[in-house]
Structure 1
Amino acid sequence: MATLSAARRVVVKIGSALLVDRVSGALRAGWLHSLAEDVAWLKGQGADVILVSSGSIALGRGVLGLGGTDLALEQSQAAAAVGQIRLARAYEEALTPYDIKTAQVLVTLEDSANRRRYLNSRATLETLLGLGVVPIVNENDTIATDEIRYGDNDRLAAQVAVTVGADQLILLSDVDGFYSANPSEDPTATRYDVIDRITPEIERMAGDAGSGLSKGGMKTKLMAAQMATAAGCAMAITEGSPDNPLQKLENGANHTWFTATLDPQAARKRWIAAMKPRGEVLVDAGAAKALSNGKSLLPAGIVEVSGSFGRGDPVAIVGPEARKLGQGLSRYTAQESDAIKGRKSSEIEETLGYPGRAALIHRDDMAL
């Protein structure tokens, strides 16, 4: 059974209905401060924490007096622009007393569908976490239209968990777990404590009903579970409305855990290894030895570049005597890689005419 106190990296999804009072449209400040206490507790256990938070449109529509009616796209985007400032400030004010720094990260579906943007997002989030920051992630509702939207933060949270290699994803919901049927309609519905495999029968049990200000129902949560567990991340659904919901989950509050069979790093390596390479880099003996010791691939160790690949594309890594060592996701195009091969990382900017990343393939983006 997964426990929060054992987590290395946790993504927590917070829905609008938890953050914003559905009658007054005001922020539930007391609840948010209890969540901040939970985040400080998790970080005290040594875990990295990322919050995926809805609420910008719900907050903004109250400020703009747009009421409870359905909003046109341009009204939703205007409300998001107004509400996002308040949402970020609320998290900053709640976490500052615990000496926790926050960052705002706004994304769209394109940021994960495009491999170059995906790697840039991953690098930024990794850097923030390495600096002890708690990123507050939300869909960029100000610019997102249907074709570039996740549409619900359950799947966005799962994508973030996959991107950063989280080992646990917690969906704070208006229900206390996954049930065999909708418990508000069927009194015989039973809750699952643990689901080890998402079968067709489990999929049929998921309903469509959403709640209040939120967009997702149980089907979106199940889709999130499928995405997360395939990447080695366990996922829990638990009721988020009580104060200190994360500590309550740790202490036995009702929940459903979806278990993962792989750890996140192994799942990511398997994904990278299964890709078809778009090019090849030949490395010298020194670089080959460094890779075997868990190091990233630096331009200085590259002897030759072949193929046509872009940033974020999979590239085969070949060592001396033409032996394939593995493959990874390149942080440079084929042309850039060829220009900086054999050069020190400190010479990249002078060679390319603009700053670049020190590693051509980072060890986290490599399967040997």
Structure 2
Amino acid sequence: MSPSFPLLGARRIVVKIGSSLVTDEGRGVDAVAIADWCRQLSALAEDGIEALIVSSGAIAEGMKRLGWRTRPKEVHALQAAAAVGQMGLAQIYETSLRALGRASAQVLLTHADLSDRERYLNARSTLLTLLAHRVLPVINENDTVVNDEIKFGDNDTLGALVTNLIEADCLVILTDQRGLYNADPRKNPTAELITHAQAGDPELARMAGGAGSSLGRGGMLTKVLAAERAAGSGASTVIAYGREPNVLVRLARGEAIGSALHAAVPKLAARKRWMADHLQLKGRVVVDAGAARALLGGGCSLLPVGVREVAGDFHRGDVIAILDTAGIELARGLANYAAAEARLLMGRASQDIEGLIGYVAEPELIHRDNLVLLQTEMAAP
């Protein structure tokens, strides 16, 4: 991807849309605007770009439907508004995408889903499966049942977490501002738009001080922090005005719109560094020569049939080492099964998994997307 235009060449993106945009400043779900964003995402899909939407607006839409003019402070009232508003929000997205011949799915997540190792893998597998079937996931926080996210959370952060979860190339945050300014443009008419900067630069947080609208919980500061979080996995972030005509299509063509906050480390390098530097290895597996050659050949997952030994007490989602029979560490990856299950599965074909442990999480012990090579060739015998 071009360092100047983060979306140019991107194959997978996360688009976060703020409450004020989705609900037309609180007047209710803006079906026309949502239909237009869906049209743009459908056009990107035709060009081979996978997209996920992180959509705010459930609480704001619920407030409108319930006739509430100000955002309540009581958690139970916020949860009630989210429950009511989520119905209308999901309906509009589904209707808009179906009219374009696109399938959609509603996915409700909490931060806990992305911090627990097993739930993290489950969420990742679900979202990647939806994308593989050309389904456009519409993601929101599960505000109806979780207290923390309503009180302190924001969908900018969720957008960054989802970006990291699925290894997206870019996070696009659509907002009611043109981008990030060096001062508050609502108070300072001489404020200048920041067109390019490096995500994580401490100066950006100073520029972004101040709260957002009364409808949402995130201001520009949460967007800057989200960009820093997304950069941890090598993804750059664009903050742009959501009502800019054809904004997503134009960004994908390389047009400079809004503020581009660039990741310092490319996506692949960031993931490799995280895996390679993971010091808290929970276990290891020893693989036979055939499995070792397949792994080092590139692009292959580790199947149970190639495993000869399992050591340690790891759980699903833990980082484990992959060794050859000479004891050389070939790779590291996220385990799809716990150590006790892996011991039952080692040396067996993938079609035997359900009969051996009663269920199938994945056909692989470690999927290629969750595996990083530490060696590039076989050791001499």
For this structure pair, what is the TM-score category when the shorter chain's length is used for normalisation? over 0.9
Change (3 A) 1:91 1:29: same
Q: Which amino acid aligns with 2:308?
A: V
Q: Does 1:145 align with 2:147?
A: yes
Q: Deviations for 1:250-301, whole angstroms, at most 9, x for unmatched residues? A: 5857411011233323322221221121111011111111111221011111
In 1: Cα distance, 2:133 partner to 2:45 partner? 12
Structure 1 match to 2:78: 76
Partner secondary structure for residue 24 of structure 2: coil
Q: Deviations for 1:302-347, whole angstroms, at most 9, x for unmatched residues? A: 1111111111011111112111112111011110111111111111
Structure 1 match to 2:376: none
Structure 1 match to 2:217: 215
CA contact (8 A) 1:150 1:156 kept: no
In 1: Cα distance, 2:192 partner to 2:249 partner? 24
Structure 2 match to 1:19: 22
**Alignment counterpart, residue 302 of structure 2, candidates 283, 286, 297:** 297
CA contact (8 A) 2:110 2:149 kept: no
Q: Does 1:177 align with 2:182?
A: no
In 2: Cα distance, 1:326 partner to 1:260 partner? 25
Q: Which amino acid aligns with 2:143?
A: D
Structure 2 match to 1:161: 163
Q: 1:17 offset after TM fit, Å?
A: 0.6
**Alignment counterpart, residue 42 of structure 2, candidates 30, 40, 43:** 40
Structure 1 match to 2:331: 326
Structure 2: gaps of 5 or more residues: 374-381
**Alignment counterpart, residue 234 of structure 1, candidates 223, 236, 251:** 236
Partner secondary structure for residue 271 of structure 1: helix
CA contact (8 A) 2:141 2:149 kept: no
Structure 2 match to 1:94: 96
CA contact (8 A) 1:165 1:264 kept: yes
Q: 1:211 offset after TM fit, Å?
A: 1.3
Structure 1 match to 2:378: none
CA RMSD of aligned residues (A): 1.8
Q: 1:46 offset after TM fit, Å?
A: 1.0
Structure 2 match to 1:283: 287
Change (3 A) 1:202 1:97: same
In 1: Cα distance, 2:232 partner to 2:162 partner? 14
Change (3 A) 1:114 1:147: same
In 2: Cα distance, 1:46 partner to 1:226 partner? 27
Q: 1:69 offset after TM fit, Å?
A: 4.2
Q: Percent identity over the alignment?
A: 44
Q: Which amino acid aligns with 2:321?
A: A
Aligned residue-pair number: 367
Q: Which amino acid aligns with 2:268?
A: Q
Change (3 A) 1:69 1:329: closer
Q: 1:197 offset after TM fit, Å?
A: 5.1
CA contact (8 A) 1:300 1:342 kept: yes
Partner secondary structure for residue 52 of structure 1: strand
In 2: Cα distance, 1:251 partner to 1:286 partner? 44
In 1: Cα distance, 2:355 partner to 2:229 partner? 41
Structure 1: gaps of 5 or more residues: none
CA contact (8 A) 2:105 2:138 kept: yes
What's the TM-score once normalised by structure 2's chain length? 0.92
Q: Deviations for 1:156-205, whole angstroms, at most 9, x for unmatched residues? A: 10111111111111100111111111111122321111113533323222
Q: Is 64-73 or 37-46 further displaced after alignment? A: 64-73
The equivalences for 1:319-358 within 5 A come to 319-358=324-363
Partner secondary structure for residue 321 of structure 1: coil
Q: Which amino acid aligns with 1:327?
A: R
Change (3 A) 1:279 1:148: farther
